[in-house]
């Protein structure tokens, strides 16, 4: 018993947590110690404090459990909300991935304005009328806003950019009407298209329905010497994206019978710099115009000399190589640059990063004396190119289509280059026989539209 008591004494702790030292003496071979039992009184105060702490912790744990339960109840709602927001943002992710959301540079804006001032000055000195005077004044006012932007941020730069776009379009529209347009197409004075007929001609491509992408049509230049009545077909034979040949027929009868054709080869392979990319070509005069392989250039292949000339399209980061294809409902691969013809001549329809992926229309002109292909005028629209299934030009007006269902498209948008005005309230039905529309172009010689529809060749009458 003494040894047990001694052990308890030696192992005991004082109130401050230190060991308690107890002195003793030896007697008859034993160690005797005097022990004060008051030192081991039960610490009731400490027990009460510890118990209160335990109770407080239990209360906190209960509150935390309530919060966890509430969070578990709300978590599905939060997940559903995040999924809903993500679904709404998903269609616009390409804007981020394609680098379209970038800060507007004040320096670049000033450069654009300086170029516009030079162009407007040249137009005004040439025409000197009320419209050019008004345009010069508006440009001057815009210059004042840009100057103020260098000192304060009270002017919204996006609105200034939009105003600059409008003024640039107005300046392009003020330029002289080209000589080859004067006196032609009196029906153009009637305004926008009023309707598109049902197909007046339907034919399977001479290459077969397996070639689902390409373009076709009739010679589009009125005064072409050798190819006035020619019809042509241009299939894309490599992955439905690239091609290097053109097939022509002397007249309508040969075309319908798929007889007496003549083939032209633009390049030695589908991946050559002069090969064709995308379903967007047109036979105009003695040459075929198309988008050059993996470039923002338009190529001109001369059917007589086999020479290829090209011109780079204007704009900041012109979309090519499937950056801005027609994409309403389903994307038609590499349809970035579309070549068309109307009463005013040749056109290139495309999109640029500088115009936020919206449609741009540039008028092209072949200079036979210098043998160069040039861009003479350019207009920027507010229609996102991937929101359209195709586009074409008629009487200087850019029209765009969208997918309706398996057997219908719809002309829903128009931009008039003569006035700079747009109309997105159109609803002109366009019949088809298959789902995919690779190309759609207009021919001013007979006022017909030509569609390459998954290997089917369809023609329509454009009605005013």
Residue 219's pLDDT band, with cuts at 50, 70 and 90, is very high
The Cα 72–Cα 216 span in angstroms is 61
Q: Residues 396-430: pLDDT tens digits?
A: 999 999 999 999 999 999 999 998 899 999 999 99
Q: How crowded is the C-beta side of 426, counted as CA atoms within 13 Å?
A: 24
Whether residue 45 lies inside any domain: the answer is no
57 falls within a domain:
no
Please answer whether residues 332 and 438 qualify as being in contact, where contact means their C-beta atoms are separated by less than 8 angstroms.
yes
Question: DSSP secondary structure string, 302-313?
Answer: ETTT--EEEEEP
308 and 433 housed in the same domain: yes
Last residue of a domain, one of 174, 205, 224: 174
Gap between the Cα atoms of 360 and 337, Å rounded: 10
Burial class (CB in 10 A: 0-12, 13-18, 19+), 189: exposed
Q: Give the integer Cα–Cα distance in Å for 387 and 396.
A: 21
Q: Are residues 90 and 118 in the same domain?
A: no
In a domain, 54, yes or no: no
Residue with tokens 């801005």: 324
Report d(CA 350, CA 335) in Å as an integer. 9
Q: How large a percentage of the chain has pLDDT more than 70?
A: 84
Mean pLDDT of 366-376: 95
Cβ–Cβ under 8 Å, residues 149 and 94:
no
Closest CA to 171 of 210, 121, 103: 121
What range defines the domain where residue 10 resides? 2-40
Tokens of 132: 């050019």
Same domain, 88 and 132: no
- How many domains does the structure of the chain reveal? 4
Residue 53 lies in a domain: no
Minimum mean pLDDT range among 117-131, 226-240, 297-311: 117-131
Q: Is residue 49 part of a domain?
A: no
Note whether residue 55 is domain-resident: no
Confidence of residue 155 (pLDDT cuts 50, 70, 90): low
Q: Does 362 share its domain with 431?
A: yes
**Together in a domain, 161 and 208:** no
Q: Inform me whether the pLDDT recorded for 265 exceeds 80.
A: yes
> 423 in a domain, yes or no?
yes
CATH number at residue 189: 2.120.10
Backbone Cα Rg of the chain: 39
235: pLDDT strictly greater than 80: yes
The tens digit of pLDDT for each residue in 28-55 reads 777 777 766 665 566 777 777 887 888 8
Same domain, 389 and 249: yes
pLDDT tens per residue, range 432-454: 999 999 999 999 999 999 999 99
On whether both 313 and 442 belong to a single domain, the answer is yes
Q: Is residue 179 included in any domain, yes or no?
A: no
Closest CA to 441 of 245, 237, 249, 220: 220
Contact 244, 197 (CB under 8 A): no
**Which tokens sit at 430?**
């366009």
Residues 347 and 216 both lie in one domain: yes
- Proportion of the chain in helix, strand, coil states, percent, rounded to 5: 30, 30, 35
Both 279 and 151 in one domain: the answer is: no
Q: Which of 148, 174, 200 is the last residue of a domain?
A: 174
Residue 170 sits in the same domain as residue 264: no
Listed in sequence order, the residues at least 6 apart from 421 whose beta carbon sits closer than 8 Å to its beta carbon are 415
**Domain finish residue from 127, 151, 174:** 174
Both 115 and 13 in one domain: the answer is no
C-beta separation of 326 from 306 below 8 A? no
What is the model's pTM? 0.72
How far apart, in Å, are the Cα atoms of 309 and each of 185, 243, 266?
A: 29, 17, 11
- Is residue 405 within a helix (H) or strand (E), and if so which, with residue range? strand 397-405
Same domain, 205 and 169: no
């Amino acid at each position: 018993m003494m040894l047990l008591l001694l052990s308890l004494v030696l192992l005991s702790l004082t109130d401050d947590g230190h060991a308690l030292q107890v002195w003793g003496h030896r007697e008859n071979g034993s160690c005797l110690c005097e022990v004060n039992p008051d030192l081991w009184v039960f610490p009731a105060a400490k027990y009460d404090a510890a118990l209160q702490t335990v109770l407080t912790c239990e209360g906190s744990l209960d509150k935390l459990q309530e919060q966890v339960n509430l969070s578990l109840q709300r978590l599905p709602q939060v997940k559903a909300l995040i999924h809903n927001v993500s679904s709404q943002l998903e269609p616009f992710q390409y804007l981020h991935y394609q680098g379209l959301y970038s800060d507007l540079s004040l320096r670049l804006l000033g450069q654009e304005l300086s170029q516009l001032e030079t162009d407007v000055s040249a137009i005004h000195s040439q025409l000197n009328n009320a419209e050019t005077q008004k345009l010069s004044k508006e440009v001057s006012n815009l210059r004042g806003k840009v100057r103020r932007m260098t000192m304060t941020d009270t002017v919204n730069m996006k609105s200034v950019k939009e105003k600059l776009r409008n003024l640039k379009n107005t300046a392009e529209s003020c330029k002289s009407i080209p000589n080859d347009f004067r006196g032609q197409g009196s029906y153009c004075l009637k305004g926008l298209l009023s309707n598109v007929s049902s197909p007046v001609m339907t034919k399977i491509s001479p290459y077969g329905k397996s070639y689902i992408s390409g373009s076709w049509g009739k010679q589009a230049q009125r005064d072409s010497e050798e190819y006035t009545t020619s019809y042509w077909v241009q299939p894309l034979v490599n992955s439905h994206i690239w091609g290097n040949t053109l097939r022509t027929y002397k007249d309508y009868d040969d075309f319908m019978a798929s007889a007496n054709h003549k083939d032209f080869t633009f390049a030695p392979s589908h991946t050559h710099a002069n090969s064709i990319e995308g379903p967007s070509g047109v036979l105009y005069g003695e040459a075929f115009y198309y988008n050059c392989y993996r470039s923002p250039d338009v190529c001109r292949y001369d059917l007589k000399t086999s020479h290829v000339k090209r011109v780079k399209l204007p704009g900041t980061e012109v979309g090519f190589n499937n950056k801005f294809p027609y994409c309403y409902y389903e994307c038609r691969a590499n349809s970035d640059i579309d070549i068309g013809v109307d009463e005013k001549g040749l056109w290139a329809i495309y999109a640029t990063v500088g115009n936020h992926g919206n449609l741009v229309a540039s008028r092209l002109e072949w200079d036979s004396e210098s043998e160069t292909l040039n861009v003479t005028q350019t207009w920027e629209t507010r229609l996102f190119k991937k929101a359209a299934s195709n586009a074409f030009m008629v009487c200087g007006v850019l029209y765009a289509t969208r997918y309706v269902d398996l057997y219908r498209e719809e002309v829903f948008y128009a931009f008039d280059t003569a006035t700079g005005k747009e109309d997105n309230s159109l609803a002109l039905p366009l019949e088809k026989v298959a789902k995919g529309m690779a190309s759609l172009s207009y021919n001013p010689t007979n006022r017909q539209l030509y569609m390459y529809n998954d290997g089917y060749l369809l023609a329509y009458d454009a009605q005013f």
